[in-house]
Amino acid sequence: MNPQQQLEQVVVTAEQMRQIEARIFAAGMPVAALMEKAAGLTASRIRQLYPLSQVSRVGILIGPGHNGGDALVIARELHLAGYQVSLYRPFAKLKDLTAQHAEYAENLGIPSHKDLQSLQNCELIIDGLFGFGLERSLSGEIAEAIDRLNEWSQPVVSIDIPSGLHTDTGEVLGTAVRATYTLCLGLWKRGFFQDAALEYIGKAERIDFGVPPQEAWAILSQSEPIRQINLSSAKQYLPVPRPPVTHKYKQGHLLVICGSRRYAGGAILTGLGARASGVGMLSIAVPESLKPLLVTHLSDALIIDCPETETGAIAQLPPIASDFSKYQVIACGPGLTQQAQSIVQAVLKAECPLVLDADGLNNLAQLGTMASLSLRKAPTVLTPHLGEFKRLFPDIDRPDRDRIQAVQKAAAQSGAIILLKGARTAIAHPQGSVWLVPTSTPALARGGSGDVLTGLIGGLLAQSATSDGLLEALVATAAWWHAQAGILAAQERTELGVDAFTLSQYLLPFLSNAIDKT
């Protein structure tokens, strides 16, 4: 992967972007030249998205800073290309460079207005009020104008980030523009990967105006990077192609401990996810009453029947399952019920990597998250959704406010790799690095989808004789693969047609298509 491709993956804070731009300017790039380049590329992309043959009247919102300057350059370029451009300019005082562009726009005869209502007949709105770095809450006339804009039906393109969103947390600062498209300038900002911001961002694209890699890495090397997982990075960790000479034990042995009489489906779905990973050997420990059912659905797996309680939970692990030295990885939790604390206590003593999900996490929280994990010498992977995360880490305040920061804190506190599920899943290593899954689908909001992911993660980890330093990349690869399979299934079945079993059946078709494309 070349340096520019690496920058496509990187996600920065507002302060990091500010420092990177400062280095670019210090190296001799004029601010005006960078504005011309970034805004010119943005104008070209807008013309591609909304050609003059389809849209002719364009309204552009002008802010007081350099985001407003970008918007004025775009206004000029669209005007010269034949669009009928009108400006909304609510600010009397502009930064010097922005003021120069405003003067030229006026000399070109581009009309400007102080009332947003003057733009209501435009077919497209471009939001250039505020770029990255906004921290104050919007109020007064500007907030009223944004609220009015959000009631209109025209498509809206935001430059860099929708005005009113916090660049890092994605938090709405009073109010925010609901964009149809957001064209992110330079490097991806953290707010694009916060669940709270997604309904405001719309479709997102990056406008690459040529950030020199050496200037970016001079800043980013000061802390652990935050990166997106995509096909180019994921294929480094996918278990294909296999070596020509191998056998099942070289492809890993995964032990899955899950299920109960009440939640039999969790065991099946976890097993299906693991099977799709290609793991060489799959053993599944379930209550003895579930063995016939599991054999029917997973005939290639070794089904281990366990003594069960009166309510149908696993009472204890038989010797074949409790000899953890036989397995490369253990995945534990889906469908166990909270009566299985002794099982979770047992697997916490395993000297191999452990993946805990669902009731594995609930039992861990009851046992004491930090105290229990501190006893482990081998790597641990926790895969909570937001509710489970709050139970595991009650001292992390409002994790939904900044999911990236929350997952970093949780990994640092626990020493575990944390996968926080969501519309933009985040995976953090205890040392601070974070992988983000950049796309997903609401089709995955179905019971059992997480069970499939647990099996997939366990299967991938079992196949890799890797060090702890790469485990989070493998976990991220599994989460990305899971999301992409969901997207493919939703395209073919609609979002309502992707139950967890169907999802499991799309894991290998997606992988086959992805490999063919590369």
Non-local (6+) Cβ contacts of 292 within 8 A are none
360 is in an annotated binding site: no
CB neighbour list of residue 271: distance below 8 Å, 6 or more residues apart: 256, 282, 284, 294, 297, 298, 301, 455
Q: Is 202 known to sit in a ligand binding site?
A: no
Given this model, what pLDDT does residue 224 score? Answer: 73
Kindly compute the dihedral angle of the four CA atoms of residues 483, 486, 491, 493, in this order, to the nearest 10 degrees.
Answer: -170
Question: What is the Cα–Cα distance from 79 to 111, expressed in whole angstroms?
Answer: 11
pLDDT, tens digit, for every residue of 423-465? 999 999 999 999 999 999 999 999 999 999 999 999 999 998 6
What is the number of residues in the chain?
518
**Which two tokens mark 85?**
């451009």
* 66 among annotated binding-site residues: yes
Query: Do residues 168 and 402 make contact, with C-beta atoms less than 8 angstroms apart?
Result: yes
- Annotated ligand binding at 133? The verdict is yes
Tell whether residue 67 is among the known ligand binding residues: yes
d(CA 331, CA 302): 15
* Model pLDDT, residue 518: 57
Residue 419 has pLDDT above 90, yes or no: yes
The annotation status of 423 as a binding-site residue, yes or no, is yes
Task: Determine how many CB atoms are found less than 10 A away from the CB of residue 387.
Answer: 10
Query: Is 421 flagged in the annotation as binding?
Result: yes
131 is in an annotated binding site: yes
pLDDT surpassing 70 at residue 467 = no
The reply, when asked if residue 448 is annotated as ligand binding, is no
Over residues 25-44, mean pLDDT:
98
The answer on whether 335 is annotated among ligand-binding residues is yes
> What residues contact 42, with CB distance under 8 A and at least 6 apart?
70, 74, 159, 183, 185, 207
- pTM listed for this prediction: 0.95
| C-alpha count within 13 angstroms, C-beta hemisphere, residue 122 | 26
Which residue has better confidence, 218 or 469? 218
**Closest to 306 in 3D by CA, of 315, 297, 298:** 315
> Does 451 appear as a known binding residue?
yes
- Whether residue 140 is annotated as binding a ligand: the answer is no
468 is in an annotated binding site: no
**Phi/psi at 517 (nearest 5 deg)?**
-70, -20
Asked whether residue 280 carries a pLDDT value surpassing 80, the answer given is yes
Please name each of the domains of the chain with its CATH number: 3-223 (3.40.50.10260), 231-517 (3.40.1190.20)
| Residue position matching structure tokens 């900044």 | 402
Check residues 515 and 457 and name the one with the higher pLDDT: 457
Beta strands, E only, 358-467:
380-382, 417-420, 426-428, 434-436
Query: What does the pLDDT read at residue 223?
Result: 63
* pLDDT of the residue at 221: 73
Is 170 labelled as part of a ligand binding site?
no
513 carries a ligand binding annotation: no
